[in-house]
Amino acid sequence: MSRRWFALLVVPVLFAAACSDDSSKSSSASTAGGAAEKQEFKVTISDAGCEPREIPAKAGPATFKVTNDGSAAVTEFEILDGTKILGEVENVIPGSERSFSLTLKPGSYVTYCPNAKVDKGVLQVADAPAAAAADSEASQAAVKKYRDYVKSEADQLVTAVTPFVAAVKAGDVEGAKNLFAKARQHYEAIEPIAESFGDLDPAIDIREPDVEKPEDFTGFHRIEKQLWADGNTSGMAPVADQLMADIARLRPKIDTVELEPSTIANGAVELLNEMSTSKITGEEDEFSHTDLSDFAANLVGSKAAFDSVKTLLDAKDAALSTQITQRFADVQTALDAFKGNDPTGNGYVLYTSLTPENTRQLSTVLDTLAEPLSLVAARLL
């Protein structure tokens, strides 16, 4: 399961930006549709909290440059609209900085630094009618291309999970094990926007360390634990039925998710960052160790997200587009080195067969791709 909780509903965009010490200083940016004010905010996270705790802003593009002032416990900064995360950065280690952007809409939002002494603040966004430009036909085509991809993957997910659920309910442990990785692939392919599915994402894909109560441990990984740790399917019929029902509920949500090219690119890079920092440890499939199958599906999904906006990027920065295309190929080549047979038949060796050097190399090549990919959203603004 992704831990980003990145609900793509208010057009987040990732890019680095130079910021002054004035947390609300703005600069002008011209667009084809006229002038728009591009605001840049400097945020510091520490054990004490997020500073500044009150951020006034105007509707339109806004960049948040987040610096960690030496805290090992506070490494995230989020902007929330109720329970939805509109944008965030994670893994901001002490002394480092990361940036993200939102096309803000008028309203009052919460800034959140998990684990800080004072963990919440306020982002107040005033109206600015000229802040946003209308979508171009090319942008709309890019969004449609990606949405159609996600719809297709969701449909295939239903098809793949159906026999897996049947095997679990029939008590066929080996059959369910053999279908586990295959059943998950289509969900992992849409993870760039998985957290926009609200409570369905944790219901389907939550990991045991992330649940507060045992009854909250549901979905793929609950069944995975039963199959591999306990070697049976005892008590899993209701869990399997709920997984099937949740996946059926997923498909209609895709039609309502608000997307634009920058959000699509941003989701892809956040997933790659997650792969290289947390998934690379083998935490995702801790019982079956079929993590490389998830990696392959994550890579396919991230590539599909990039491909949907590639035509737009070609027109703005052809060199960057070419570089990213090559970096995707490099990651695929690195991952292909671990293709092989394993007891589950998922097409890749089990994660437990990798050496520390193997995981370091995979992490490095993922970072090498994520770096230029993180520039795409900025180019598309």
CATH number of 177's domain: 1.20.1420.20
User: Which residues fall within 8 angstroms of residue 144, CB to CB, at 6 or more apart?
Assistant: none
Please report the pLDDT score of residue 11 as a whole number.
36
Question: For residue 91, is it left (φ>0), alpha (ψ between -120 and 50) or beta?
Answer: left
Q: Are residues 259 and 186 in the same domain?
A: yes
Domain boundary among 79, 102, 131: 131
Instruction: Answer yes or no: is 179 within a domain.
Output: yes
Q: Judge whether 237 lies within some domain.
A: yes
Judgement on whether residues 87 and 163 belong to the same structural domain of the protein: no
DSSP result, 207-226 = -GGG-SSGGG--HHHHHHHI
Distance CA 316, CA 313 (A): 5
Whether residue 79 sits in one domain with residue 154 = no
Question: Has residue 152 got a pLDDT over 80?
Answer: yes
Residue identified by tokens 């006034």 is 56
Per-residue pLDDT at 132: 41
Q: Domain end: 112, 131, 150, which one? A: 131
**Does residue 238 share a domain with residue 188?**
yes
Beta bridge partners of 65: 42, 99
Residue 212 falls within a domain, yes or no?
A: yes
pTM of the model: 0.76
Q: Encode pLDDT of 267-313 as tens digits.
A: 888 888 888 888 899 999 999 999 999 999 999 999 999 999 999 99
- Do residue 102 and residue 239 come from a single domain? no
Mean model confidence pLDDT for the chain: 85
Do 171 and 282 belong together in one domain?
Answer: yes
Both 255 and 219 in a single domain? Answer: yes
Structure confidence at residue 381 as a pLDDT band (50, 70, 90): low
Q: Are residues 88 and 4 in contact, defined by beta-carbon separation less than 8 angstroms?
A: yes
Number of domains making up the chain: 2
Residue 217 lies in a domain: yes
User: Is pLDDT of 53 > 60?
Assistant: yes
Whether residue 171 is found in the same domain as residue 219:
yes
When pLDDT is cut at 50, 70 and 90, the band that residue 17 belongs to is: very low
- The pLDDT tens digits of the residues spanning 64-84 come to 899 999 999 999 999 998 877
The CATH number that applies at residue 52 is 2.60.40.420
Q: What pLDDT does 343 receive?
A: 64
Mean pLDDT of 225-236: 97
Cα–Cα–Cα angle for 339, 345, 349, nearest 5°? 35
Contacts of 89 (CB under 8 A, 6+ apart): 64, 66, 76, 77, 98, 99, 100
Print the domain residue range for 175: 137-380
* 358 and 343 in a common domain: yes
